[in-house]
Structure 1
């Protein structure tokens, strides 16, 4: 039995009904992650702006290479997403600098900043947009959505509209 292909069989039945199917996996590199990579056209790699982030990135890139060579020849890296960013911390800025210098165009322009509301939303069973659409975290994710749409040529965004601005800094 092809246990790595279970998710692909299910998604293949419905994927033509959607522009995107997003699969959010835990950071482990177990069977569920391998299933998700096998079922996907591309992968967004989240990298926390924290101490061990680059070590985890290396392990995930290795897993992606294995999946590309054995299970999903068409799997591409959509981009690397920097998360948990705090501009007050030197380490956060160092991780951003190192990832951008090493991976260049693969890194999304949008950075997901550390935000209390992002941590609260799941405890209420809500997305960040439902929980507080004006929060910094919500705006970061809306900007990421626009960036992904634009990268995939699904929208035309005027330069002046590229980023949603936070009107009232909190």
Structure 2
């Protein structure tokens, strides 16, 4: 049995707590890629195994969220490739999660109609409450690219009158 240092035990505890507290968000995020309940559960399971196996590669506890989401994202992509499926990210978000607080807005449909490269950014930014820098890390894109896509997605939503509730 390998004895862990105090710092390693703290890091592992923090990661485990994050996973438990955010399990539903991790599932929703995986679902946006694979669009299937069973595949999403497999992705989350495989990602958690990877996370725990590679916990030493987490350099800063403050970066747990983007680090974990990046692993979930990569695991989902691997799952899609492994199963030789062609799936676009987030086509059926309205089926994945019921957002009761948004039931009066047709937000599901609005986000679902966005092009894929914008959908994932909207979901990470507004549903998962991530910072631009975290999204940039997860998607391996420049922060300026993420900002541009975010503003473009919001512009599309506004132009399609999906955001009129925010204007009132």
Fold shared by both chains (TM-score > 0.5) = no
Q: Report the TM-score when normalising by structure 1.
A: 0.31
Higher strand share: 1
Q: Report the TM-score when normalising by structure 2.
A: 0.31
